[in-house]
Structure 1
């Protein structure tokens, strides 16, 4: 082992990676609200306005639904799905957009897709203020089940990091991934019960069991269900939901790390 491979060198490299992560997350946060009058308030207003509009529209279409506290159900699903949407969309271009820096500074490349997930998590934290406002408006008191938010958020972030590393690496070589991911996200939005309820499928005899199975296996269904159990249902998530949430997080992370490590040495040739 050489001197540069020693613990001190590894520690310095880890410190540098942490510093770069902090700087990039801070930079993203500042750029997001630059020249904006309301600034970070938009992180609260955005989900609130979407909830008001969608509640008004879809409450008429979902009269047969068994959802209680529909506005809260809607805003929790919306902000949770937006975390995945925002982080993976940014992670998709993270390596491509970091080309000027990668050509000048030696830095671990995984920092860039991970940073995009952390930046989205910061925005998600502000969005939770909108959730609190809705709970106060409808006089819904939190219970101890709120602790389920922590594993739900952590698992979702791990899942997003894995997906971001995977698609971010692929986008370097196949730029069509940028357009394909946009299409997939649109399909994913409608496949996930964000503004509709699963009971609409389970109570309909015309819906094939395969459709129901696909929806339940959908990673975002499980993360949304865990978040809603913590805030809306005020109950513990089912064992199958927890197992699938953990499994999807591990599968995404493993796939992302393996693909990223296999091709990252070629990034400089294509960015």
Structure 2
């Protein structure tokens, strides 16, 4: 049987388990919380307000409707950062379950990224509030955002697989990754327009920062009201699929050894 067909059939066989894992993660996150799922809207809204106050003096003069500009970049970065950090610990944190019964190990990584994606989708409510409060125009291109969501979800799954595999054998990766994501945030045009950077740094970010492609696409659709250019659009899909293939390959290559190290 074709290995990819076998993997898809196995994934489908355990789909109910994945649904339960995603549901568990979401319920645990908001357990004993008075406002519950509203925090998926309120939390990014509060963070956006604080960051707007902090960064508006530096960048708002060159950026029209800075709150929406900031939010369209920050919400994508937060999803990437949170989902990949949770995916990184997905295998190790389920060690007791994996030692008791056979389960496809990648299910745990998938579930972590997927539960974060649910939060990400709910945060669009906060984006709507910001757009209404600032009088931003809602372009028809806004409704094409699922294309970007799918791309960044695939990318985060791939990166999550790679990090989860590395974390089993090298636990220091979690501290290294924390430093990497901090630098990654400032090297992504979230608070500033990329045109404000020197040309050589612009080329470096466009060439080596995969998140640039998703932020650029999302801003084109939501903030500028236009269809993303082919370089950014197809570059985003290519990066997502390549990252997914690399991450899954690395994960599957070492997964039989996980039990010895968790």
Same fold, judged at TM 0.5 (above): yes
From 67, 88, 93, give the equivalent of 1:92: 88
Q: Are the counterparts in 1 of residues 52 and 67 from structure 2 also a CA contact under 8 Å?
A: yes
Matched with 1:120 is 116
From 21, 24, 27, give the equivalent of 2:21: 24
Structure 1 residue 15, shift from structure 2 partner: 4.3
> Which runs of structure 2 are paired with 1:239-250 in the superposition (5 Å)?
239-250=230-241
Structure 1 residue 144, shift from structure 2 partner: 2.0
> Which runs of structure 2 are paired with 1:26-45 in the superposition (5 Å)?
26-45=23-42
| Gap runs ≥5 in structure 2 | none
Number of aligned residue pairs: 257
**1:16–1:122: structure 2 CA closer, same or farther, 3 Å change rule?**
same
Q: For 2:256 and 2:151, locate their aligned partners in 1 and report how far apart those are by CA, in whole Å.
A: 28
SS at structure 1 position matched to 2:240: helix
> Which runs of structure 2 are paired with 1:105-254 in the superposition (5 Å)?
105-201=101-197, 207=198, 209-217=199-207, 218-254=209-245
From 249, 253, 260, give the equivalent of 1:262: 253
Runs (4+) of structure 1 exceeding 4 A deviation are none
Q: For 1:199 and 1:14, locate their aligned partners in 2 and report how far apart those are by CA, in whole Å.
A: 43
| Gap runs ≥5 in structure 1 | 2-6, 202-206
Q: Are the counterparts in 1 of residues 195 and 202 from structure 2 also a CA contact under 8 Å?
A: no
Matched with 1:4 is none
Q: Which moved more, 1:33-42 or 1:123-132?
A: 33-42
Structure 1 residue 148, shift from structure 2 partner: 3.0
Q: For 2:217 and 2:12, locate their aligned partners in 1 and report how far apart those are by CA, in whole Å.
A: 34
Matched with 1:204 is none
Q: For 1:243 and 1:73, locate their aligned partners in 2 and report how far apart those are by CA, in whole Å.
A: 23
Structure 1 or 2, whichever has the larger Rg, is 1
Q: Are the counterparts in 1 of residues 22 and 111 from structure 2 also a CA contact under 8 Å?
A: yes
What do residues 113-168 of structure 1 show as CA deviations (whole Å, max 9, x unaligned)?
A: 11111011000111110001111112333222124311111010000000000110
Name the TM-score, length of structure 2 as normaliser: 0.93
Q: Are the counterparts in 2 of residues 51 and 71 from structure 1 also a CA contact under 8 Å?
A: yes
Q: For 2:134 and 2:201, locate their aligned partners in 1 and report how far apart those are by CA, in whole Å.
A: 34
What do residues 19-64 of structure 1 show as CA deviations (whole Å, max 9, x unaligned)?
A: 1110000000000011112211111111111111111221111155
Q: For 1:247 and 1:147, locate their aligned partners in 2 and report how far apart those are by CA, in whole Å.
A: 22
Structure 1 residue 210, shift from structure 2 partner: 2.9
SS at structure 2 position matched to 1:196: coil
**1:37–1:266: structure 2 CA closer, same or farther, 3 Å change rule?**
same
